[in-house]
Structure 1
């Protein structure tokens, strides 16, 4: 998906409530070692944005995490979680009966500051096709590939 000004972005909308969503946008890179991007959360009464989330090439990869969730479309027990190295973006995932995955996206600008804030939004997606498409969309976005 591209934004109105043709800049690459990925938007995840909750299938249970389309007014809840997460958008990855404003991707840029200074060097071959990292990708910077913004993450926006939206829900009724909530709009939150963190600029300059960083994905390092040596960091544990969000693409791999979402890909593993997509591959386990038959489900799992408990909660799985991921966070980037700077801890300003975290995702936790749960599986519910009926084949749906709940992804709780948490943004925390300045996670090491004494007085900061965080915001979370949960999107529910179908475990198979929607999760597979999300994994591909995130991979394309972070790699800078045009779809």
Structure 2
């Protein structure tokens, strides 16, 4: 299930919680932009015993972004074979999607900030959604979150 909420800084945000375990979730928050070409945002992963955050994931307006990927999954609500995947240009956020019988989509969210740096880290969680309305609603929420007009970078950020 997804919700359009106020993120962690009282700004716009989107949270997706796993249908199988609501303690597992992903939040998109703390969005800012320097120009019309990109939107920067934070991604937080949560699960029992895990909290991980990447502070500056970048969505480029000229590239294939997360929203079209999610919309494509939503449009294929009858299912597909194998795994579909998406990643940011920097490979700091990746999503792998699988279809499970009964009409559910499993999204495995992986954060790997500084993927080429020594001592880097990685974390992942998997959320399950209904392939139809829940997936479609989530895709719409993410599109809204990523397509907001450019904003100033928050003070102190």
Q: TM-score range by the shorter chain?
A: over 0.9
Corresponding residue for 1:3?
Answer: 6
Between 123-132 and 3-12, report the one with greater CA deviation: 3-12
Report 1:5-20 matches (<5 A): 6-20=10-24
| Count of aligned pairs | 145
TM-score by length of 2: 0.89
Tell me the SS of whatever aligns to 1:138.
Answer: helix
Contact 2:5 2:15 in 1 (8 A): no
Q: Which of 51, 54, 59 is matched with 1:55 structurally?
A: 59
Corresponding residue for 1:41?
Answer: 45
Corresponding residue for 1:137?
Answer: 141
Q: Which of 90, 93, 98 is matched with 2:97 structurally?
A: 93
Tell me the SS of whatever aligns to 1:58.
Answer: coil
Q: CA RMSD in A?
A: 1.2
Q: Distance in 2 between matches of 1:109 and 1:122?
A: 18
- 1:83 paired with 2:96, answer no
Between 124-133 and 136-145, report the one with greater CA deviation: 136-145
Corresponding residue for 1:27?
Answer: 31
Contact 1:89 1:107 in 2 (8 A): yes
Which sections of structure 1, spanning at least 5 residues, go unmatched? none
Deviations 1:86-145 (A, max 9, x none): 110000000000000000000011011132110000000000000000110000000117
Q: Distance in 2 between matches of 1:13 and 1:134?
A: 10
Shift, 1:7, TM fit:
1.1
